[in-house]
């Protein structure tokens, strides 16, 4: 299965594609689409759309995962980010892909285990999860890979249902932190 992740931005949009066989996840490609701040905003959006469509089409992913908008104090920045996100979603749909969305906190929780992780922590975890020699750079590419990995982690294996594992006390464990293996004897 191939998942393509997108970290939208109006000046730099990160992308990353991972592939898994259910046991091992490996990097297919990653990078960032940069647009000059000197270019008119509509031309920046057109470049993001055009280049994302080409990369998505070349990767042939099963699904595209996109980081969703989050609350922003600066309304102008939020609107620009919304436009960039819109052209990214449009590129995915034009490539014939299903699109799913995750919040920044969901992505960080899935990859790092903490919803307020910092960018360098995300980069280091992506390096470890994908067995890379160096963390992906720029951080936008690492963030896009994190979006893709978040989607992989959120999917249940085909045909399997979530199982609640009882703890030794007889109470069902609600998370892996509460699980304690049964003691011998």
Catalytic residue positions, numbered? 7, 67, 140
CA distance readout (Å), 138 to 10, 60, 103, 159? 15, 23, 20, 37
How far apart are the two ends of the chain, measured CA to CA in Å? 43
**Torsion (CA) 84, 89, 92, 93 in degrees, nearest 10:** -140
Non-local CB neighbours of 70 within 8 Å, separated by 6+ positions: 103, 104
Cβ–Cβ under 8 Å, residues 101 and 65 = yes
Question: Order of strands, edge to edge, in the sheet holding 12-20?
Answer: 25-34, 12-20, 2-7, 63-67, 98-102
């Amino acid at each position: 299965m191939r998942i393509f992740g997108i970290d939208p931005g109006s000046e730099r949009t990160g992308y990353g594609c991972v592939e898994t066989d259910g046991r091992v996840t490996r990097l297919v490609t990653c990078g960032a689409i940069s647009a000059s701040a000197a270019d008119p905003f509509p031309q920046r959006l057109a470049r993001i759309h055009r280049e994302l469509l080409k990369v998505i089409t070349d990767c042939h992913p099963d699904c595209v995962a996109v980081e969703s908008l989050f609350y922003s104090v600066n309304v102008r920045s939020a609107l620009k980010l919304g436009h960039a996100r819109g052209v990214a979603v449009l590129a995915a749909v034009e490539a014939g892909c299903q699109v799913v969305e995750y919040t920044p906190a969901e992505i960080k929780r899935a990859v790092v285990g903490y919803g307020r992780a910092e960018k360098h922590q995300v980069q280091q975890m992506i390096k470890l999860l994908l067995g890379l020699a160096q963390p992906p750079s720029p951080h936008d590419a690492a963030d896009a890979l994190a979006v893709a990995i978040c989607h992989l982690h959120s999917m249940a294996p085909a045909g399997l249902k979530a199982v609640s594992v009882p703890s030794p006390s007889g109470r069902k464990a609600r998370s892996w932190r509460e699980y304690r293996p049964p003691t011998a004897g």
